[in-house]
Each structure stands twice: as structure tokens, then as C-alpha cells.
Chain A
Amino acid sequence: MEGGRTVRILVVGGGPAGLFFALLAKRAVPTATVQVREQNPPGVTYGWGVAFSESAAEALRPAAPDVVDALTAGMSHEEMVLSLDGTDVPVHVGRSFLNARWTLLAALERIAREAGVTVEHDAEATVSAAELTDWDLVVGADGVNSRTRERFAERFAPTEELGTNWLAWYGAPKAYPPSIILQNSDHGLLMSHASQFSPEMSNFTVEVGQETFDRLGFGEMTEEESRVVCEQLFAASLDGAPLRSNHSPWFQTKFLSCARWTHRNLVLIGDALHTVHPSIGSGTRFAMRDAVYLTTALAGAGWDVEVGLKEFERTRKPVADAFQAAAKRSIDWYEGLPGRTVTHPTKFALEYLMRTGRVSYRDFRRQNRDVVLGYERDLR
């Protein structure tokens, strides 16, 4: 930065992307002032557990080994289960790590603070046009409903596409391996994404198509009423376990991307910039990878913000776009499910695993010979 002045960085939003970038920036430039503004009080967040595949975690390791150690210290799974009307098909798709979202955030905040980052909670998590000049760099990491993005929407030109399925992110005190649970019912197809993220708790995200959503009247129910109905619908799978809410309203997937990534010295990262889909379990990793690319680009430019931000967009965009395309395929697949008849557990398992086009059939078959042998031999 010019004239040996201290680099001043403001990060709006203390989620995974914002905290991780703040940490990486502070470590890269120890003399920098790095401040994070977070609207929630410490320890308050939405949601339950977040997942990292082993490859996703390892991709982050060079940037911050201690963070990766923290996020791989908890729950890990070797297999996932595709369950159709009570028939389970276990498959090996590589190792995954899960953590409660609040545990991950607490670890990130602790490590960032230790590195010298300032984290302000209960803060007005936004930035005004006038304020931009107070900082060398402002990073908008304030999530899918980013007020930073909305304030400069004309510049970022975001496009949003709402999904046609409805989701609610519950927790359940039952041990689920990462699972996709499908149930054909009188109301239509019911889906759930479940995965254990702590010794006591699993995610249990319910997903239904619009028709089923309307038929069950979820649109008119309170969050609590919906939770009770979902608990009853999945009673067979939950086997006596309740569903729990943590700010778990129904939502439609918002598939968001921005035409431009920067405005002067302001840049968006994470969900504020572009989203993937809960179904590919990679939103947190995707956001944290933005932080890595941004730090690398800025460091390569000697922390010349103008040059660094251009480099960030140039290097990150092709990778991010490809990843988003895979997410789009996954969304389309889930949205197509309610209109189809899914009756064969192994066919469903194979179809699920091939849905993004990122898993080769040969690799899958090598790792899951028994499952595919069932597909090949049990033809009736």
C-alpha cells in the first residue's frame, strides 16, 4: 500500500467467508487493521451443521492449516446413505467432515482474534458509499441477503433465480450418516437431507416441491406448525426423535450471481456474491475458497487493491462459474424429482451420484462395486 501507510480493511459480515478472509488478510499483512462487523451477538447464528468433503478441507489447508485442523476435528463420515421408502443404499463417496455452524464460526472467530483481527458484534453490518473512502479495502461478506450488495446493486447487477422447491433446515437428535431420504407419500414426494454433525445432533433439511408444499398448506403455517407436520411426515425415519428449529423458516433456494464483483475498493465474496445449493453441501467451502483467492490475488499485487481486485475476479470467476454450473445441475435434479416416479433404490442412488456430472461412473463403480452389482444383476 502507498507510502508505508497501514492497510485498513473492513469486512462486513462475520460468517465463514468474512472471518476467514479477515484472518488470512491479517496473517498476510500483520501490520494491517482488519475489522469485522457482524450484526448478530456472539454465538448467535442460524442453521445447524455444515459439511466439508475431505478434498474441500484439504484445498483450504495451505491457506490456514490451524483452521482446517479445527474443522476436521469433529464429526467425520466415510459413507453416505440413499434411502428410498425405507430401503437404504449405503455408498462410498469419500470422507466428509461436519461441524455445527456455530462451532465453526466460534473457531474461526477465535483464531482470527488471536491473529489480531477486531470483531465487532451487534454492529450495523453495512457500509455507506461515503464510508468506502475511510478504508483501503471493504469486503462485503454479509450473506445471501447482503445489504452491501443491495446498496450498490446498480453496480454489482445481481441476478437472482428462485428455486421451485421449498426447504426448511431443521436439526434432529438422532445419528444420521450423510443421507438423502426420499419418501413417496399421498402428498407427493418428500425429501430430506440429513447428516450428523455433533455427538447429539444431525441436520435434517426437509425439501418438497411446490405442489406438495401447497397441498400440505405449509405456506399458511407458522414455523412451529410446519416443524410438527414435518416431524409427523418423517416419523418412520426419525423413529421417535423430534425435529428442532433454529430460525428454520421455509425458504426457496436463491441462485444468485453478480455481473460485476467490485465497486471501487469494495468487493463481494461468499453468498453475498454468488450462491450454490445446500444439496451439494459446499456453500461454506465455496465461500471460504473466495477468501483464499482474494487474499492470494491481493498478495500477488503487493496489496495494490485496484490491481488485486481485478486479479481476484480474473482468477476466481472461471472456477466459481464451473462450480455454480454443477450446483445448478444439482438444483435442477432436485426440482425435477417431485414430477417423476422414483421407485428403485439402486437406480435412485446411481442417479443421485451422477447428477452433477462431476463423478465418473467408473470411479463410482470401483468404490461401490457391491451397489453397482445389485444394479447390474437385480434386473426385475
Chain B
Amino acid sequence: MDKKLYAVTALFKTPNDIIAAAKAVRDAGYTKFDVHTPYPVHGMDRAMGLKETKLGFVTLAAGILGAVGMISFASWVASVDYPQVIGGKPYWSWPAFVPVTYEIAVLSAVLLTVGAMITFFLKFPNNSHPLHDTRYMKAVSSDTFGIAIQADDSKFNEQEVNAFLKKLGGDVEPIYYTEEFLNFKPQMFEPKFILLLVGVALVAAGGGYFTWNKLLFMPPFDWMMEQPRVNAQSKSEFFADGFGMRPPVEGTVARGFIPYPYKATDRADSVGALLANPFLPTKKVLELGKQKYFTFCSPCHGNFGNGDSRLQGQFPNPPTLHSDKVRQWPDGAIFHVITVGQNVMPSYQYQITREERWAIVHYVRTLQRALNAKESDLQ
């Protein structure tokens, strides 16, 4: 095997020694060298003559990008894409966006910093580096400080470097590597790695399942389940009658519903004096009235209001609608009777809308006029 020299390394015992060694190597003009220490040693950057990193700019740019991106996204969602009235506040309420924007700024700064470090600044992990599994690397990973001057440095000369590092007091050793070693490519899926992934997945899934489906229902972790609040459609200890569902407050009406202020015990003619027919007897109104009359009124009152319906004795017949009494009633009185009912007649308030009731009144009026026509009507 053809062994090539990678670097000459030297180990030192104390941080002061390694700082001094780094300074000496820097001052001697070497550029391709690295220092390995078990923990970060203060002042090493300067001792090695390293330039300050530009990584901070990546962090700043990533943070600003994250913040701007998040606030734009949140603004678009809240005011354009899915506007919702939350807590009675305007669609675009910036205080609600602040925590998320701040978190995403931090997250993107962190992720992009680490990403840039791994890919660009540190140039990816290397699985076959000549320093791997050497005595040198084991030493610097635990309790020794090391410096390695690479063979491809322009000023490199093996004997010179050897002597130089020995003079500084280091424990010197050259590191060799083979082509075959450098060309080693690990498999994508190592068995141990796959086993690790499976193990992590099992622990995460199992732990998650246990936590959210079992643990949170066991005392004392179920403490959030008993809350002093009334749940929808459940019994309640808060209200005296034990009901969680409360009846609507006295006087509640449905949306769009206008309550009828007069009672069934009110006399029709007195109510009639208070109501006025809001509709004019147009063709449309009369046709509506005719249709509704035939649907709801004709079964008892007959097709022409005479009270001669097809019930014929199976049900008490109502008096005729063409009596003087009814003809003299104001429109509102007829409306009132339809609304609240009278004697055997039930209330038609819920089957016939207001508009339809007034239309029926108009139609009844035409029937009355038809059966008591005057000469002048024919003109």
C-alpha cells in the first residue's frame, strides 16, 4: 500500500502551551494547519490568526427573512385568505402576529445558520478523514491539546516541521493515509443506523400514544379535565336546576322574527283598529292570497268563503265570511283571527307568513265584493 503523509501532529499538555504553539506556528508562516482541543480554548482564534467568520451575516439575513416572511404570511391569511372575526377584533390585528413572527425569526435564523455551517462553512461531515481513529484524535478528544500541520502547506518540509514542533515541546507524530482509505464510501443504510431510527420511532410513537391517550386521563395528570366551567349539552353543578343548557331569556325572539303583540283573548275588532294592511291589492298580492286561501282556508271556509266546504258535517262548519259582521270588520280584524285563531279555528301564525296573511285578507275582500257586487263594479 502506498502510504501518503497527511500531516505532522504534536500534542501538548496545557491550554497555555497550545496557545503558545498556535501563535508560534502562525508566526512561522504556516497557513494549512489546525488546532484540536477537547473544549473551546479562549483566544484560539487570535492565536491561530483566523479571520472573523461571516456566519453572523447569515444569521441576521435569515432572521430578517423569517420575520418578514412570517408577518407577511400571517397578514395575508388573516386579512385576505381566511378573514375571521376573533374576539371582536379587526381582521388584521398585529399584536396577535408578534409571538409567531418572533418565534419563526428565531427558528429560521437557527436553522439557516446551522445549515450554512454544515454545508458551506464546515463543508459537510467527512466520513473518511486521515485523522479518524488515530491516537492523536483520541488524545485530543479527552485531555490533550493538539496541533496538526498539513503536508500540503506551501512551506511544508517534514524534517523542519518535526524539529519545529519538538522544539515547542510537543509530542510529535506523523499521520499517514492510504488512497483506499480516502476512497472509502460508506453505505447509505447501515444496519445500526436503521435500528436507531426504528428505535427512536418506537419510543416516540409509544411515548406519544401513552402520554396523550392514557397518561393524561390518569390522576393526577387529568387535572385539566375537571374544570369549573359549564360544558355544552352536559349537566352542570353551577346552575341550581343542574342543567348546562339554559333556556333563552324571557323575550328572546328568533332572528328576523317579529313577535305578534296581540293575544288570542283580544277582540278582533279592537285589534283591527290598531293594525293596517301594509299591502296594496295588486295582481301579485291577490294571486298570492288566492293560492294561500285555497291551501289553508278553503278546507273549512269553502272555495268562496260561504262556509260550505267539503268537510260537510265531519267538522263544524264555520259561519260565512260574507256576513255583515265580517264585511264590516277592518282588515286587521281578519288578520288577527287568522293569526291567533278563533273558537274552533286554530292559529295559522306559524304556517302562513305575515305577507301571506295580508294577501289572504285582500283575497277575502275580493270574494266579499264578488258576492255583493254593485252595478258600479261592472264598469
Q: Do A and B come from one complex?
A: no
